[in-house]
Amino acid sequence: MENMEVNARIITSMSQGFANTYLLYTACKLEIFDFIEQNINTVLELSKKLNVDGQILSKILRPLVAYDFLEKKDVEYQLTEKGKLLTGSSKNSLKGYVLYCGGICAKSWSMMAEAAKTKQIPYSLAMGAELFAENEKDEGHYFAFNNMMNFISERTSLSDFLCDLQDTNIKRIVDIGGGTGAVITQFLKYFHHATGTILDLEFVKEKALQNLKKNMVIDRCDFVPGDFFKSFSISGDIFILSRVLHDWNDEDSIKILRNIKANMTDNSVLYIIELVIPEEVKRENIDVYMNDLQIWAVCGGTERKLLEYYKLLHSAGLSYIDSKQIHSGESVIEARLDIKIEEGEI
């Protein structure tokens, strides 16, 4: 009976997970944190500004106080440290992250059962569109996506991996689908004398240049608008492919890899950065399994096992060399051009 109680609690609590997602989403969508920051901070002022009934507003504000996003002094609400992170103006703002989770992910996840049965992508069923195309069309959508992406990529801890690299001869670093440059920036800060190029879709350019400037690598890194499904010509000692392959099925992934391969020389190396699914299913790896579902839900992609990366590389004519797991959980998979064995060497 005791077990039944514990199990029932686990199930009811997991089933209520959406409530926290939507509490934060609603508060961010209504811009409650931003208005409080501007001292529009009583129920009366907020309800006028937002055109929301005061009683409903109080229902939203109460749990935000209880969760320590806001504090209430007399009739005025103030932001706590946590609440400040949900304003658009905060340096480390997570407002976009919250909008991405509530406005894009949660809606996609809600369509998973239908999508699985009809062999469609949950996001497409929910939104009637495609994630990357929508990023291009809708500024708010891209703001949310980009905020989430930067948050994750800035936490990809590459420092130990980079310190272990022996090659001091690196001059050119190319980040394919490099987004706004959170990953290439780490490489450029380690290889002080190298120059870099980000290849990504045209509409990403402006935010990428802003980010490179913020990180003081703008003088060493340019942005080339391009489509990684079409051939391109960029020379590089290091090619980076971070969290790109997991967005695509095997056929598309092989196309991307072949286009990179066409730019590689015997001395260049490709580093693929992805979460790798461990062979054995264990509770401690729950984040990887949930991320795998998340990638399928939003863009029909998939996380893969190491053997699957090995096979993808092989199909694209590249050789798997090594794989190292980094501190933040992702793996860096090293690939090079297929090693040709000369007749005399056999």
- Rule CB under 6 A: choose which of 101, 182, 245, 264 binds ligand SAM: 182
Rule CB under 6 A: choose which of 40, 57, 65, 201 binds ligand SAM.
Answer: 201
Site for ligand SAM in 113-132 (CB under 6 A): 132
Query: Shortest gap between Cβ of 198 and ligand SAM (angstroms)?
Result: 9
According to the binding rule CB under 6 A, does residue 223 interact with ligand SAM? no
Report how far residue 322's alpha carbon sits from residue 105's, in angstroms, rounded to the nearest whole number: 33
Number of amino acids touching ligand SAM (CB under 6 A): 18
Closest CB 214 distance from ligand SAM, rounded Å? 15
CB-based contacts of 2, cutoff 8 Å, min separation 6: none
Q: Residue from 174, 244, 257, 297 that binds ligand SAM (CB under 6 A)?
A: 244
Interaction of residue 177 with ligand SAM, rule CB under 6 A:
yes
If the CB atoms of residues 50 and 152 are measured against ligand SAM, the closer one turns out to be 152
Q: What is the 3-state secondary structure (H, E, C) of the chain?
A: CHHHHHHHHHHHHHHCHHHHHHHHHHHHHCCHHHHHHCCCCCHHHHHHHHCCCHHHHHHHHHHHHHCCCEEEECCEEEECHHHHCCCCCCCCCCHHHHHHHHHHHHHHHCCHHHHHHHCCCHHHHHHCCCHHHHHHHCHHHHHHHHHHHHHHHHCCCCHHHHHHCCCCCCCEEEEECCCCCHHHHHHHHHCCCCEEEEEECHHHHHHHHHHHHHCCCHHHEEEEECCCCCCCCCCCCEEEEECCHHHCCHHHHHHHHHHHHCCCCCCCEEEEEECECCCCCCHHHHHHHHHHHHHHHHHCCCCECHHHHHHHHHHCCEEEEEEEECCCCCEEEEEEECCCCCHHHC
- Residue 227 binds ligand SAM, judged by CB under 6 A: yes
- In the complex, least distance from residue 327 CB atom to ligand SAM, rounded to whole angstroms: 16
Q: CB-wise, 24 or 240, nearer to ligand SAM?
A: 240
Q: How many CB atoms lie within 10 A of CB 288?
A: 17
Q: Which of 31, 34, 200, 303 binds ligand SAM (CB under 6 A)?
A: 200
Among the residue ranges 31-39, 88-96, 186-194, 221-229, the one whose residues contact ligand SAM (CB under 6 A) = 221-229
Q: Minimum Å distance from CB 16 to ligand SAM?
A: 29
Among 179, 196, 236, 300, binds ligand SAM (CB under 6 A): 179
Instruction: Give the number of other CB atoms < 10 A from CB of residue 168.
Output: 7
Q: Which is nearer to ligand SAM, 57 or 162 (CB)?
A: 162
**Residues composing the chain:** 346
Q: Chain centroid to CA 237: how far?
A: 25
Of 13-21, 84-92, 212-220, 239-247, the segment contacting ligand SAM by CB under 6 A is 239-247
Shortest distance in whole angstroms from residue 149 CB to ligand SAM: 5
228 binds ligand SAM (CB under 6 A): yes
Q: Counting contacts by CB under 6 A, is residue 97 touching ligand SAM? A: no
Q: Please name the amino acid found at residue 181.
A: G
The amino acid present at 254, given as its one-letter code, is: I
Determine, following the binding rule CB under 6 A, whether residue 108 of this chain makes contact with ligand SAM: no
- Minimum CB–partner distance for residue 299 and ligand SAM (Å): 8
Residue number with CB closer to ligand SAM (149 or 270): 149
98, 104, 105, 149: residue in contact with ligand SAM (rule CB under 6 A): 149
Nearer to ligand SAM (CB atom), residue 35 or residue 203: 203
Task: List contacts with ligand SAM (CB under 6 A).
Answer: 132, 149, 153, 177-179, 182-183, 200-201, 204, 227-229, 242-244, 247
